Structure 1
Amino acid sequence: MEEVVSHKIFASAVQRLRLPAGRPLRVLDIGSGAGDGLALLTELHGDLAPVAAGRPLDYVGLDGDPGMVETATALHPVLGATFRVGDMRDRLPEGDFDLYLSCGVPYSHLTFDELVEVVADIMRRILGAGRRAAIIIDVLGRFSIEWMRNWHCPRWNYAMTFFEDTTERLEQQMTFFDRSSLGAAIAAAACSAGTRPAELGFTDRSILVGRHTATGAFNPSIPPYRTLINDLARGSSGVSLPELHFEPPTVGAPPEILHFFRTLAGSWNGLLDQAVTGSEKRLRALASALLRCEMREQRGLGVGHSLTATVIIDVA
Structure 2
Amino acid sequence: MSTNDCQTVQRHLSAYHDGELSAAQNEAIAKHVGYCSACAAELASFESLGSAFDQSPVLARPSDLWQRIERELPAPAEPVTLSRRPVMLSGRFVTWIRESPYGAGLVSMAASVLVLLGAGLWYGEERGGVKEMGSGGAMAMHSHDGEEAMSAEHMVEFAGVMNDYLQKLPSDPDAAEQMLLSKYNGETVDSDGAVKLVGYRPIISGGLPEGYSLASTSVLKMPCCTCVKAVCKRSDGSTLVLFEHDDEEAAWFGDRPSSMAMCGDKDCCLVDLDSSIAATWKQGSRSVTAVGVRDQEEVATLVNWLGNRVES
With structure 2 as the length reference, what TM-score do the two structures score?
A: 0.19
Instruction: Name which one, 1 or 2, has greater alpha-carbon Rg.
Output: 2
By percentage of residues, which structure has more helix? 2
